[in-house]
Every structure is written in structure tokens, then in C-alpha cells.
Structure 1
Amino acid sequence: MNLQDKIAQIEPIDQSAVERSWRRWDSIAKPLRSLGLLEQAVTRIAGMRREPEVTIEKPCVVAMCADNGVVDEGVTQTSRDVTAVVTKNFTTGATSVCSMARVAGIPVVPVDIGVACDIEADGLIRKKIAYGTQNMAQGPAMTRDQAVAAIEVGIDITLDLARQGYDLFATGEMGIGNTTTSSAMAAVLLHRSVSEVTGRGAGLTSEGVRHKIAVIRRAIAVNQPDPDDPLDVLAKVGGFDIAGLVGVYLGGALAHRPVLIDGFISSVAALCAVRLCPAAAGYLLPSHVSDEPAGALVLEELGLKPFLTCGMCLGEGTGAVAAIPILRMACAVYNDMSTFAEVEIEEYKHLK
């Protein structure tokens, strides 16, 4: 089955299950809609799963790891070698998201989808499309076929994890240079200026940001990505990590599972997934709003409001992981609280 056939199988969420879930929320003995976005998230999960019963029993973080050829242009503080180091550290638990995930009791699933060297590590899923992308400032980052292959990796891994019982996917990534690729994609897909969507990434100086902006402008001028063709944008100025995450979003939708967006990079992947398949939008949940300049812009384009506003821009899936305990708490209220009828209190009424 090719990518278009898989996309064609994605169905919108079930609005009748959403409505039944809202009725459950409104019967609970508390002020109506007083958990705000968390209530909305639970009802949307009900719609995804097509039933009003909602629990989050077995979440995981899927971290796509890949190198980006644009690093050759000096757009980062560190060398591409760091990608391999952090990718291996995912397998030993020695990364920020691993530390946070341990507290929440959530496994991290790292995927080598395009790291520039071979990594031997237990627990690493090896699905390398190539040893990093090409330098997008000189030509396309990848071929269209490579972009499709990377998306299919994300879909297949997510569907396999769903068969293992995982019921919510948090998106993570690692790839030196990927705020550069994400900014390029955001500029094209949002029809915004490069300067408006480009930030410091992992700590560039002001001069470094100016250079990064110039490189992205050159990449867009060289490649002329078509904003009406998200696959063209992804292939020409994206990365394998972003493409893999596009597949995670589409795979989650195919499996009727929620997928949590992390920060700027994963939100750009989410936008690309929705442009490829509008029905996939129903399966997305926000976590936080990235401190990168375009973080809020992409979420706004997706019509999503973040649960957390922490000024985070670390990546790896850290923001998505931070949101999972909050969602589980909301599920606890949804499932465990008494109803107005059970405690013999007159139901609150919606104000008109």
C-alpha cells in the first residue's frame, strides 16, 4: 500500500463520541467546563477512539533522529557529531526527555532515520533513509521518494507501536540544524518572511541568527518549494526527522490514537501532515508553545491552544512529555468523579 492509499484511509474523528463525552463531563459534580482545554482534549480523544471511555494507559515518546546537510553552512553552534551522541544517549536514558519521561513513567522510542553515521545501541530502531540530508542551501535536501520513504517509516513504526498497545504518542526529535529546516518549511507553508519565523535555535548569537536567515533565504531561492505541495516543501527544505514525524502523525490518525505535538520542529511536521491529510488534524493534541518565534504561529495555523506556556525550546519531546501527566489527571477527574445525580446536587446549567 502506497502513501496515498494510507492517507486515503484516514477518517475524521467521530463527533457522536465527542458529544457523548461532553455529556459525561457536564454530568460531573463540578463547575461546567472548569478544566478548560483539558476537558476539550479528553472529548477529542473520545472522538479519536470512537467511544466515550477515555484513559491514557500506555503512552510513549517517538524520537526521530537525523542529520541535516545545511549544518555545513555554519548555522549551528555545534557540529553534526552531536546528533549521534544524543541519539545514542536516548538509548541509555541520558537525555533531558529521558529524565522527564522516567518521572512520568513513559518509555522513549528513539529512531535513527538519517543520522550521519552508524550507531550501535540496544533499543535504537534503525530505519536510516540516508546518512543525513543534502545541503538545502545548494539544492534539494532530499528526493521526493526519500521524503515519502521517511514518512512511511513514521507511519509503520506508529502502527506497530499501536499494535503493541500504546495508546498515545508524544513526538520528539534530535537533529543538529533542524530549527533551520523547520524555519524554512514554516516560512513557505505559512507564507511568512524568513526573518519572522527564524530564531536562535540552540543559542545562536544575533550575528548567527542573521547568517541563519540568509542561508534559509538562499535555500528557498535555490529550491523554489511549492507552498501548495507540502511534500515538495518537505523534500526540498525539510529533514528526515521532520518527515518521520509527519508519518507519526499520520500513523496515529490511522490507528485512531492521539499524537501530542512537542515544540516548533514537531509542530511544523504536524502542519505538513495536516496539509497532506486534513482529516489528520483531529488526532493532534498540543502540549506547549515553543519559545521559537514561529512556535505560536504554527499552533495558531493548526487551530490549537497549548496546555502549557513555559518558554521552553529544548525539543526532544520534552514539552509533550510534560503535558502527559496533566492529561492523565484530567482523565482521572473524567472517570472517577461523582455525578451531580450521585451526590444529589442540582446540575449546573449552561448560561445562555
Structure 2
Amino acid sequence: MLESTVAAIRPLDEAAMAAARELQGRLTKPAGSLGALEPLSVRLAGLAGACPPPLPEPAAVAIFAGDHGVHAQGVTPWPQEVTAQMIANFLAGGAVVNAFARQAGASVTVVDVGVATPIPGADSEEPADPAGPRLVAANVRPGTRDMTVTAALTRDEARAAVETGIRVAGELIDAGAGILLTGDMGIGNTTPSATLIAAFARVDAEAATGRGTGVDDETYARKVSVVRAALARHEPDPADPLGVLAAVGGLEHAALVGLILGAAARRVPVLLDGVIAVSAALAAAAFAPDAVGAMVAGHRSAEPGATAALRHLGLEPLIDLGLRLGEGTGALLALPVVTGAVRVLHEVATFDSAGVAEK
């Protein structure tokens, strides 16, 4: 599945992009006056192979959840069982991502790809709200291994998680989704994110590592040390993205890679959230450089590694609000910007059709 998905990813359609640029030049506004929305609309036309491209709706948020063996190294003060507890909160509709999804009219799918502890209420025969968030059980293993001691995953486990993400992308698109939004949950997951960013973007551990949930100076220093130790132990090779994911990644990271690749193969845009998403995006780009054409950077995370990752990918974030929550929250706030960029091509009159004189 992974190989066939990568093989299906193609470059952006240059003819559709040229048509979108030409149309932008005829709309009743000064050229370039919509700033970043104009090149975004052009890129989405190239992805769809049509001008105008389809409106990116309905939106579907996919939250991949997993736990991390490196939690044992004291990289976060939060107990590991919070991962499972937050999944229960997602399913009950009580998290920030749920509030923002309701505002955006987006569906929420939570995928247990590697949670280590039981999810409260997951065995209930009936969901709290049949029309609300749903849980997909796809647990590859109960959390990763400690990457400072051994590889976080076997190659087969990493592949299984990637292919879970590909399947979820296909299911959401088959159900009608016009855009996929990345979400994540995993206590300690900013540490493997920083390690992935350091490996793929070739930046120092300190430049890739942030404070995550707001750790103190002592914990931050320990976190940087853990990232350095993992890089030194495994010497991850960016030319082998599956190997990098296995050595230092998380199960939710690998599944997000699959979601991105699956969407790119179907020519559906993926709106990236924060540092976990962009670290996965680096791996997706290593599998298939043309997958970057399907990626839209929703926001600039407060995590420094996210900036390094976006720079490496050549992506500019749409909004910058100092967010560092994850879950898909930043992507949801950026969604109206993406929709607006496309709606302009659908609905704004040209100078000729409106009878407006050009300069």
C-alpha cells in the first residue's frame, strides 16, 4: 500500500496553475492585493488540476494518538495516561479541537494508533453522540519503545502505522471530505517531533526542540539532551524515511505521514497543524517530494522546530497566533483562510463581467 500510494503522487498541474494566475489577474481587485491567498489559490488549482479548484469542504480532522517510551526520560511533567484521558475528552466533545471543529463544521475522527493505557469509555457499545467524534481502533502497539535505548519501532510497525494513515485518508475522502486537517495526541510527542525535525531538516537538537506543554528550564535541558542522545544512537538517514520513523518517530507521526501521502495521492489538500504535523510532513516529503504540493501550513507554532521544518519544506504558515496546543486546533482556525482563497476564484467577478474599468 505504501509504495503504490507514493507512486500515485504527481506534480502540480501547471496548466491549471497558469489558468488560476490568469483568472486572479482579471478579478475586480488590484493584482496581488489578497497577499498569500493568491498563490495559495493557484497551488490548490494545481493540486486539483482545475481552475477554479473545488471548494475545500467538508473538512475532516483526523487526530492520531499514541504514547511514547521516551516519556520515561522525564521529558514532560504530564503522566502518560493523559493521552487516553484526552481521547475520552475528544469523544465526549469537550476539548478545544471539538469547539473549533463545531465552529468550522468539521468532522472529528480519533485514531488510536498506539495508546498505551485503556481509553475511558472506549468499550461503550453506543457513542455519546452518533453524529459526533468517532474512534477508530488501529493500535499497532501500546506506545513506542524508548528511543534513547533502542529503536522506537520496528520497520514493520512503522509501516503499519503509515498505512493506517493512508487508509484513514482514503476513508475520509471516500466519505466526501474536500480537505483533511491533521490532529494529534500523545503525551511527550514533541520530543520525537524535535528529533524528526533535527534529522530531516538537518538542524541542531536545541534549534529543533521547544518547551512543549511549557516545561521548566531543567526539563527543557533534559529534553534537548534526550534528542541529542537519540540522534547520536541511531544516526537517522533522511534518505530512508521509514527507517527514521522507526528509529525516532512516534506511531502518531507515522500515521500522519500516511494521512498526508494518502491525501496527496488523491489530490486532496492537507491542512497541517503544529509541530507534530510538520515533523511528519518532513517525512512525507522524504517519501514523495511532490507531496508538498498538497500541504498547506495552517499556522506558525510557537515551537521553534516548526519554523525550521516549514523553512525546509518551503511553506509559509497562514496565521501566527503563538499556538502550541496541537489536536488540530491551529489548522481549524486557518481553515476559513483556505476556503476564502478558493471562494474568490469561484465568486468574485472579473473586470469585464462587472463592467469595471481597469487601470
Q: TM-score normalised by the shorter chain: which range applies?
A: over 0.9
Q: Which residue of 1 aligns with 2:250?
A: 239
Q: Letter of the 1:91 partner, please give it.
A: L
Aligned to 2:64: 64
Residue 215 in structure 1 maps to residue 214 in structure 2? no
Task: For 1:15 and 1:62, locate their aligned partners in 2 and report how far apart those are by CA, in whole Å.
Answer: 30
After the TM superposition, which residues 1-352 of structure 1 pair with which residues of structure 2 at under 5 Å, given as runs? 2-54=1-53, 55-119=55-119, 120=122, 122=127, 123-347=134-358
Structure 1 letter corresponding to 2:8: Q
CA contact (8 A) 2:272 2:298 kept: yes
Amino acid of the structure 2 residue aligned with 1:14: D
CA distance in structure 1 between the partners assigned to 2:343 and 2:288 by the alignment: 32
**Which amino acid in structure 2 is aligned with residue 264 of structure 1?**
V
After superposing on structure 2, the runs of 4+ consecutive aligned residues of structure 1 that deviate more than 6 Å are none
Contact 2:65 2:252 in 1 (8 A): yes
What displacement does 1:345 show?
Answer: 2.3
Distance, in Å, in 2 between the alignment partners of 1:163 and 1:212 is 40
**How far apart are 1:57 and its partner, in Å?**
2.4
Contact persistence 2:52–2:345 (CA under 8 A) = no
Please tell me the residue identity of whatever aligns with 2:203: R
CA distance in 1 between counterparts of 2:231 and 2:299 reads 28
- Which amino acid is the alignment partner of residue 18 of structure 1? M
1:144-165 superposed Cα distances (whole Å, 9 cap, x missing partner): 1111111000011101111111
| Mapped contact 1:152–1:247 kept (Cα < 8 A) | yes
Shift of 1:186: 1.0
Identical positions, percent: 39
Aligned-pair CA distance for 1:286? 0.9
**Comparing 326-335 with 309-318, which one deviates more in the overlay?**
326-335
CA offsets 1:106-154 (integer angstroms, 9 cap, x no match)? 1111111100134316320111111111111110000011111110000
Paired letter, 1:69: G
Name the stretch that deviates more: 329-338 or 24-33: 329-338
Q: Quick one: which amino acid aligns to residue 228 of structure 2?
A: R
CA contact (8 A) 2:152 2:249 kept: yes
**SS of match in other structure, 2:110:** strand
Query: Is the 8 Å Cα contact of residues 249 and 280 (structure 1) preserved in structure 2?
Result: yes
Contact 1:154/1:247 (CA < 8 Å) preserved in 2?
yes
Name whichever of 268-277 and 185-194 sits farther off: 185-194
Q: CA RMSD in A?
A: 1.3
After TM superposition, the structure 1 stretch with the greater mean CA deviation from structure 2, 264-273 or 335-344, is 335-344
Cα deviation digits, residues 79-101 of structure 1 (max 9, x gap): 11000011121111111111111
Q: State how far apart, in whole Å, the 1-side matches of 2:264 and 2:83 are.
A: 29
Conserved? CA contact 1:77–1:203, under 8 Å: no
Paired residue total = 347
Secondary structure, counterpart of 1:342 in structure 2: helix
Encode CA deviations 1:195-246: one digit per residue, 9 max, x unaligned. 1111111011011100111122222222232233221111101100000000
Structure 1 residue runs without a partner (length 5+): none
2:312 maps to a residue whose letter is E
AA of the residue aligned to 1:105: G
My pick for the range that moved more, 253-262 or 120-129, is 120-129
Q: CA deviation at 1:14?
A: 1.0
Cα distance in structure 2, aligned partners of 1:172 and 1:341: 43
Please list every run of 5 or more consecutive structure 2 residues that lacks an aligned counterpart in the other structure: 128-133
